[in-house]
Structure 1
Amino acid sequence: MTAQRSVLPGRFSGLSIKLIATIMAVILLVEVVVYLPSIANFRASWLDDRLRVGVVAARVLDAVPDVMALPRSLTDRLLTSAGANAIVYRREGQSQLIEFANPITPGEVITADMRQRDLMTLMAGALDTLFAPPGRTLRILGDGDLDDSQVELLMYERPLRQDMLAYSRQIGVVSLAIAAITAVALYLLASNLFIYPVRRLTRNILAFRQAPENANLVLTPSTRRDEIGIVERELAAMESDLFSMLRQRRHLADLGLAVAKINHDLRNTLTSAQLLSDQVATLDDPKVQRLAPRLVTTLDKAIGFAQSVLDYGRETSALPVLNPTKLRPLVDDAAFEARLVGHPSVQFENQVPEDLVLTVDANQFGRVFLNLLKNAREALESLNGAEASPRVWVSLDREGENLVLSVADNGPGLPPRARANLFVAFEGSARAGGTGLGLAIAREITEAHGGKLVLADQSTGTRFDLVLPQNLVVPS
């Protein structure tokens, strides 16, 4: 199966565009929050300017006893400068009005009371003006420059709305410019500190994944001391370790293939030699009769060594095929192959319940019991009758949510060298000439089933515990 090739995203399709878009969105959001008080203050200032002109007109009205005596040109200039259709001045219960010669009848009239200066009222008025329908008339109320005086202006709302829209467009353009400049500045800063190093790491990971055997692709870390620097150094160390491990694995694989071929041919040669030794053992020559058993034993050991090496390579490469399996017959078969059934001196007991069914690979799991039982038999046979009643047994126990299968004997126990190198291939043998592959195979098979194989700590004999998860048990 070919690995899917990953493609590094473009400069503006990965983190870059996300960073720029995020910065601009945050700045624009802040500008929106700032915009509402700003447009409210703009509207208030605009209306205050109109009121100030109205206050000037009110002073003129206050100085003249008869408003009707004012020249029409003067009143028109006052109205035009204020942008109003009419100005009303109220003081001490009296009202004075100036308006154009041809007064305009207002349509919808709304009131803007500039005596209320709280922020919420100003913002509500600004939003109301921005989204107002056309043709509305604005009634502006404010205090005069004298005590108990009041000025009122009546004007169209359209000029105010147009000025507010123009101001909003200016704010929008300035906000976009600020957002763009800030985003670019922050992007350049973040690119040098974060995005470019991350893209460099990403390119290296993608390239090294395609060719991990190429030492030139191992990352050269920078001298940074922050998190990016730590990632670079750890990635470089990991790639170096992976490169070394892959080279070692390749060498071991080539060496293992050669050893397997040699071992296979050696096993065939030793088998032929064993057949010849069996024929020689039938001769009546006393010297032959004395040497033949030693020759047969030596050949058996050589064949067993060759077979164990082949079994080790085969067992470690095969995945378990899980099926419901009765455990007691599996143990009986393993005991028979380990030559414990019918043994002249060693007693074997299978204490596994008849109804225990596990979801395991029967062939591989049988190898576990075969190796453990064979080791137990050989340990007891090495005593040469020193133990009055040598015995091997397989028992079942439970520890919490785990199932514990124990293979035990009452033999001499494991020597210190075997304990120190337990489960290490070619190192953990308990007898001279052994390979130590039996326990290594048993451990790997047990771990492949989700369990673990451990040596129990006890003063006499040897006991190995297979700790298996409860989910392997098939309910009866």
Structure 2
Amino acid sequence: MSKERSVLPGRFSGLSIKLIATIIGVILLVEVVVYVPSLASFRANWLEDRLRVGIVAARVLDAVPDVMALPRSLTDRLLTSAGANAIVYRRQGQSQLIELAMPVRPDVVVTADMRQQDIMTLAAGALDTLFAGPGRTLRIVGEGDLDESLVEILMSEYPLRQDMLAYSRQIAAVSLAIAALTAVALYLLVSGLFIAPVRRLTQNMLAYRQEPENAALILTPSARRDEIGILERELAAMERDIFSMLRQRRHLAELGLAVAKINHDLRNTLTSAQLLSDQVATLDDPKVQRLAPRLVTTLDKAIGFAQSVLDYGRETAAPPVFEPVKLHDLVVDAAFEARLVGHPTVQFRNGVAEELILSVDAVQFGRVLVNLLKNAREALEAQNNGHDPVPEVAVSVTEDEAQTVISVTDNGPGLAPRARENLFVAFEGSARAGGTGLGLAIAREIVEAHGGRIGHVPTPTGTRFDIELPADLRTSL
């Protein structure tokens, strides 16, 4: 199988560039949130400055009984200092007006009432000015320095908008500088604490994936006590386990190949010996007639053992093909194959309801049932003495909301202690003398592939195996 080679991102790509971009983005977002109140405050101060000039002009107007007697040069100087087209002073129900020699008659007038200082009003006014079109006239309204006096200033909104744009550019430049400096500082800090160790782990995983049997590539964990330190130690332990497992697998593969070759030759030799034993069994010598059956039985067991080893070595890990199957019929077929149907001494009882349908692989699951039923038959045949109780093998099913349990029981002698300790272990967990234990090992693999479990249930007499399958395998045709 070819291995697709992954490439480690550059230093300023991958997590690094994402980290820098995230820091800059967060800082700029914070600056945007701060920017609007700051801009509103700038606009309010700008308007207050113009209003103070208007208040000075109002004092002059208040000191002069007849505003028409004021020199034009003085009124123009007052308007110029305020940048205004006109100033209106209202006090005790009277109004006084100073305006340019060439009065301006505005088309669009927007009012800025400085008596309202709440943040929402100031922010709305600032945004309105910032995005306003050209040609608008601004009417600034505020209280004078005397009781119940009011000052109004009429002026072009253009100077205010220009000053706000210049202020915004300054804020943007300062924000970018702060974001860049902060991003660099945080990157250097986070890079040393997190990104560099993560890159080290990534490089190690990429290199070890290419050469998992190279012990020099096993990670040497640091002394960190945080999550990255735990990750380093767990990765190093996993790599050591993989290294040991791969080395063991290679040894087992080489050993298995040698055993298969020896077993093949041994099977051929035993087959020849079986042919000779069959010929010897035809001789009339009483001693030969007495010993020949034992010789034939021994050779049959040896040949069967050799064949089972070869069959287990050829086992494939094909996933099950799930399809609706009547479990009752599947048990009948398995009992027939296990030679329980029509058996002269062993009775068979199929307690599975005919309407029960499971979604399983019929071929694979049938092998599980055949192995269990065959083991039960052989155990009963070995201990049958012709007395009660009558040897019996039974299959039953119990169902609940969580699972379906298939039980295979017999009333035989039960399992030997050694067999119980090594159940489902190939070549060690045989339920009968001379067996290989491959049937139970294969049965466990098939049941687990179906998402279930198989286990031995201790009983006072006999043997019982339970197959637990998920309830969602119950279906209908």
* Distance in 2, Cα, partners of 1:293 & 1:126: 110
Larger displacement relative to structure 2 (43-52 or 450-459): 450-459
1:130 counterpart letter in structure 2: L
In the superposition, relative to structure 1, how do residues 463 and 120 fare at CA in structure 2: closer, same or farther (>3 Å)?
Answer: closer
Write out aligned runs for 1:237-316 (5 A): 237-315=237-315
Q: Which amino acid aligns with 1:410?
A: N
1:415 corresponding residue in structure 2: 416
CA distances 1:168-216 after superposition (whole Å, capped 9, x unpaired): 1111111121122222222222222222222322232233233322223
- 1:351–1:395 CA contact under 8 A, matched in 2: yes
Shift in CA distance, 255/151, structure 1 to aligned 2, threshold 3 Å? same
Q: Secondary structure at the match of 1:98?
A: strand
Partner of 1:7: 7
Q: Which residue in 2 is equivalent to 1:460?
A: 461
Superposed displacement of residue 351, structure 1: 4.9
Residue by residue over 1:274-312, the C-alpha shift from the partner in whole angstroms, topping out at 9 and shown as x without a partner, is: 110111122223333343233222212211221221232
Name the structure 2 match of 1:137: 137
Map of 1:101 onto structure 2: 101
Q: CA deviation at 1:375?
A: 2.4
Task: Summarize the alignment of residues 214-229 of structure 1 with structure 2, pairs less than 5 Å apart.
Answer: 214-229=214-229
Asked if 1 retains the 8 angstrom alpha-carbon contact of 2:350 and 2:396, the reply is no
- Alpha-carbon distance, 1:162 to partner: 0.9
Tell me: CA distance 1:369–1:143, structure 2 relative to 1, closer, same or farther (3 Å): closer
Q: Is the 8 A contact 2:393 2:411 kept in 1?
A: no
- What is the CA-CA distance between 1:396 and the residue it aligns to? 2.7
Checking the alignment, whether the CA contact within 8 Å between 1:6 and 1:206 is kept in structure 2 is yes
- In 1, are the aligned partners of 2:320 and 2:360 still within 8 Å (CA)? yes
Q: Say whether the 8 Å CA contact 1:392–1:407 is kept in structure 2.
A: no
Written as runs of structure 1 = structure 2, the 5 A alignment for 1:385-400 is 385=385, 387-400=387-400
Matching residue's letter, 2:137: T
Structure 2 Cα separation of the partners of residues 361 and 155 of structure 1: 89
The alignment partner of 2:77 has SS state of helix
Q: 1:121 to 1:374 in 2, by over 3 A?
A: closer
Where structure 2 has 5 or more consecutive residues not aligned to the other structure, the ranges are none
Residue 445 of structure 1 aligns with an amino acid whose one-letter code is I
Q: Name 1:424's counterpart in structure 2.
A: 425
User: How far apart in 2 are the matches of 1:192 and 1:470?
Assistant: 52
Cα displacement (A) at 1:14: 2.2
Contact 1:43 1:164 (C-alpha < 8 Å) held by counterparts: yes
* Distance across 1 between alignment mates of 2:269 and 2:34: 92
Residue number in structure 2 paired with 1:16:
16
CA–CA distance in structure 1, aligned partners of residues 206 and 404 of structure 2: 44
Are the counterparts in 1 of residues 87 and 98 from structure 2 also a CA contact under 8 Å?
A: yes
Q: Residue 6 of structure 1 aligns to which amino acid in structure 2?
A: S
Equivalent-residue separation in structure 1 for 2:361 and 2:118 (angstroms) = 81
Residue 448 of structure 1 corresponds to which residue in structure 2?
A: 449
CA contact (8 A) 1:316 1:441 kept: no
- Percent of aligned pairs with the same residue? 78
Equivalent-residue separation in structure 2 for 1:10 and 1:227 (angstroms)? 24
Counterparts of 1:348 and 1:31 in 2: how far apart (Å)?
A: 83
Match of 2:41 in 1: 41
User: 1:358: Cα distance to partner?
Assistant: 5.3
For residue 213 of structure 1, give the secondary structure of its aligned residue in structure 2.
Answer: coil
What is the root-mean-square deviation in Å for CA atoms of aligned residues? Answer: 2.8
In the alignment, does 2:29 pair up with 1:29? yes
Residues 173-212 of structure 1 correspond to what in structure 2 (within 5 A)? 173-212=173-212
CA distance, structure 2, for counterparts of residue 285 and residue 233 of structure 1: 74
What's the CA shift string for 1:121-149, capped at 9, x where partnerless? 22222222212221222222222222233
Distance 1:475 1:48, change over 3 A: closer
Offset of residue 413 of structure 1: 1.0
- TM-fit CA distance, 1:220: 2.0
* Distance of aligned partners of 1:311 and 1:318 in 2 relative to their CA distance in 1, 3 Å threshold: farther
Aligned pair in 2 of structure 1 residues 81, 387: CA closer, same or farther (>3 Å)?
A: same
Q: Report the Cα distance in structure 2 between the residues aligned to 1:145 and 1:262, rounded to whole angstroms.
A: 115
Specify the SS of the correspondent of 2:314: helix
For 1:287-436, what aligned pairs fall within 5 Å after superposition?
287-315=287-315, 317-320=317-320, 331=331, 334-335=334-335, 338-340=338-340, 343-352=343-352, 360-383=360-383, 385=385, 387-401=387-401, 402-436=403-437
Code of the residue aligned with 1:407 in structure 2: it is V
How many angstroms apart in 2 are the aligned matches of 1:287 and 1:273? 19
Q: 1: distance between equivalents of 2:101 and 2:472?
A: 100
- Structure 1 residues 444 and 129, CA gap change in structure 2 (3 angstroms): closer
Gaps of 5+ in 1: none
Q: How far off is 1:272 after superposition? A: 0.8
Q: For residues 345 and 215 of structure 2, what CA distance do their matches in structure 1 show?
A: 60
Q: 1:387 to 1:466 in 2, by over 3 A?
A: farther
Letter in 2 for 1:276: L
Whole-angstrom CA distance in 2 between matches of 1:475 and 1:386: 43
**Secondary structure of residue in 2 paired with 1:247:** helix
Question: For each residue in 1:65-96, what CA deviation from the matched residue of structure 2 results, as whole angstroms up to 9, or x when unmatched?
Answer: 44344333333222221212222333333333
Task: Say which SS state the counterpart of residue 104 (structure 1) adopts.
Answer: coil
Q: Secondary structure at the match of 1:141?
A: strand
For 1:332 and 1:136, locate their aligned partners in 2 and report how far apart those are by CA, in whole Å: 96
Report the 3-state secondary structure (helix = DSSP H, G, I; strand = E; otherwise coil) of the residue aligned with 2:140: strand
Distance 1:391 1:473, change over 3 A: farther
Q: Distance in 1 between matches of 2:473 and 2:144?
A: 94
User: Is the CA contact 1:421–1:427 (under 8 Å) kept in the aligned structure 2?
Assistant: yes
Deviation at 1:167, TM superposition (A): 0.9
* C-alpha deviation, 1:271, in angstroms: 0.9
Secondary structure at 1:434's aligned position in 2?
coil
User: How much does 1:343 deviate?
Assistant: 4.8
